[in-house]
Structure 1
Amino acid sequence: MRSLFFLGSLVTSALLPFTVQAADNPHAGHQMPMAHYDHATASTNNMHVMQGWSRALPPTAKTGAAFLMLHNMGAEADRLIALESPIAKVTELHTHIHENGVMKMTKLDDLIIKAGEMVIFEPSGYHLMLIDLNKALVEGETFPVTLTFEKAGQIELEVTIKSPDSKADSAGAMDHSQMHH
């Protein structure tokens, strides 16, 4: 029965448009084609975490970012409350906001994912900030990220490291080297 639910969830996920639906979400209406991501999926209960990726960085880089998609297939909202990855000493949830005409990165303590909502983490939007990297982000390698949700619990996803010029980050990226954490 569980495998039928998982298969049904994957089919449903594949048929949904890749657009964030919430009106109060800063990325509402922003579309990201499926071709930009790998097809790794992890899930528990009704929360699905998909298509994690990061970009390769020089060995001297101290910070990086990871991107993914969340889909709450449940009937209730859930909240992302913690992040962890062995690739970095600290893993935080960040987003970009426009303030007085300037784009600014800010740390978030949590993120509510409404019932039925799909949230896309992408450059210049929501992302996992990897602070004080334990090793270089090397193209072709992977690393795990554990996301903890208030209701769904922990979900671990493998993040694929792509080339620095990968189309997956064609939306642009912010230089994190000047961030103070």
Structure 2
Amino acid sequence: MKKLTDQIKQSVPLLALLAGLIVNIQAFAETVVVEHGYIRATIPGTTVSSAYMEIKNTSKQDIVLIGATSKVSDRIEIHEHVMNDEMMRMQQRESLTIAANDSVVLQPSGYHLMIFNLAEPLKVDANVELTLQFSDKKTVNILLPVQSIKRKKQKESAHHHHH
């Protein structure tokens, strides 16, 4: 019995540390709110798509999106459309800052996530899990519906608060 009591006493600081980490992770997830997100269905014969959403930062500090990952692709990049020599061009960005108590909208003809090397086509009404990666090593998992490129009006997707 004494051996068990000693093991429990030794475990308490570790459990307290783990509990603190979990609380911090949950607190971060609550400061990043992703809404109105969707991914475009792929055009037949292509292995590229794009993801759009609004990322809200409800904290008192700026946060920096540095990328995203997903099981559907080995390469997801942050991109933006810019006017260059009277032509709209797409260019990769290393990061995207979301100011404290502000939001950034990822949308067609603006900031967006480019998803390359899709293993299989993305079909309408499927859902894709993405993990947004931030500069402070924190992540936010989101589940985005796949919508038609021909969609008439963006469906209002559920609010996404994830870990």
Q: Give TM-score scaled by structure 1 length.
A: 0.65
**The one of 87, 92, 96 aligned to 2:72:** 87
Q: Deviation at 1:107?
A: 0.3
Q: Deviation at 1:150?
A: 2.4
Pairing 1:117–2:102 present? yes
Residue number in structure 1 paired with 2:117: 132
Shift >6 Å, 4+ stretches: none
Change in CA separation of 1:168 and 1:135 when aligned onto 2, cut-off 3 Å: farther
**Map 1:38-77 → 2, pairs under 5 A:** 44-77=29-62
Residue number in structure 1 paired with 2:143: 158
Residue range with higher mean Cα deviation, 103-112 or 52-61: 52-61
**Equivalent position amino acid for 1:113 in 2:** I
| Greater Cα radius of gyration, structure 1 or 2 | 2
**The one of 81, 104, 108 aligned to 2:93:** 108
Structure 2 gap segments, 5+ residues each: 1-27, 155-163
**Equivalent position amino acid for 2:64 in 1:** R
Q: Larger RCO: Structure 1 or Structure 2 (Cα < 8 Å, ≥ 6 residues apart)?
A: 2
Q: Deviation at 1:89?
A: 2.0
Change in CA separation of 1:109 and 1:150 when aligned onto 2, cut-off 3 Å: same
Higher helix share: 2
Question: How large is the RMSD of aligned CA atoms in angstroms?
Answer: 1.7
CA distance in 2, matches of 1:94, 1:72: 20
May I ask how many residue pairs the two structures share in their alignment? 127
CA distance in 2, matches of 1:46, 1:127: 21
Q: Give TM-score scaled by structure 2 length.
A: 0.72
Residue number in structure 1 paired with 2:152: 167
Identity of aligned residues (%): 26
CA distance in 2, matches of 1:111, 1:168: 26
Cα deviation per residue 1:101-122 (whole Å; 9 max; x = unaligned)? 1111000011111111111101
- The DSSP-based 3-state class of the residue aligned with 2:117 is strand
CA distance in 2, matches of 1:168, 1:79: 30
**Equivalent position amino acid for 1:155 in 2:** V
**Equivalent position amino acid for 2:119 in 1:** N
